[in-house]
Amino acid sequence: MAEKIVYKKPDSLTDKIFSYCWGCGHSTVHKIIAELIDELGMREKTIAVAPVGCAVFAYDFWNFDTTEAAHGRAPVVATAIKRVHPGHLVFSYQGDGDLASIGMAEIIHTANRGENLTIIFINNTNYGMTGGQMAPTTLIGQKTTTSPAGRNIKQNGYPIKMSEMLAQFESVKYVERVKVTNAASVIKAKKAIKKGFLNQLNGTGFSFIEVLSACPANWRMEPLAAKAHIDGVISKYYPVGLIKDIK
């Protein structure tokens, strides 16, 4: 009797088991990206740029070509790769310390140039890999290892809303903020990333998908509580949904 395959690991994932912390959003987003690349038939024509941060090891899990960029520089590394291989699917995958702090100039100019790229921005409101320091995205009052009394507006200003800011650029075509806290939101996140990839493949231009992602280890929360924190607290400041969509 012929086997009927109802589910299998995507070809775009390696056999390596995700090594991220319990409840971390990276594994979920890595997996939906791999599924999408399989679905689009692009595994052999994809080049990804990994950031500095927890997701620097993305290339251990993705079975397509990947490079790593210096901290914050992923969008311009991706720009050059895309210019050299315009027919390939090229994306950068960056955390909030990488993209919103040290890489601010790179992301803004890449967006403003309207590069035909997809940027996946993982916002977990702190520097995960280095041990949970304050990021530009850290919420007001949020305690981190470098804001032990909580983020203070007077000293640190307000958390940066990257999606809303980038949506201001005329050459930015698509911006959506999603979260990965339950099955329904993961399906929505996957749809958004797919749209970002398709925009690139059909030449629409620059797409930016922000994913609110849990960091239970550094938030000092259990995984379920961390996801509930996104639903109940973080998404109040960073509302999920479509921000910009221009054909």
| Contacting positions for other proteins (CB under 8 A) | 12, 14, 43-47, 49-50, 56, 59, 62-70, 73, 76-81, 83-85, 88, 105-106, 109
Cβ proximity to other proteins: between 73 and 227 the closer is: 73
Cβ proximity to other proteins: between 3 and 15 the closer is: 15
Minimum distance from residue 93 beta carbon to other proteins (Å): 13
Cβ proximity to other proteins: between 82 and 179 the closer is: 82
Minimum distance from residue 50 beta carbon to other proteins (Å): 8
Cβ proximity to other proteins: between 81 and 166 the closer is: 81
Q: Output the six-digit token pair for 183.
A: 């099955």
Q: Is 179:192 a contact under the CB 8 Å cutoff?
A: no
Minimum distance from residue 105 beta carbon to other proteins (Å): 6
Minimum distance from residue 88 beta carbon to other proteins (Å): 6
Cβ proximity to other proteins: between 88 and 188 the closer is: 88
Minimum distance from residue 166 beta carbon to other proteins (Å): 15
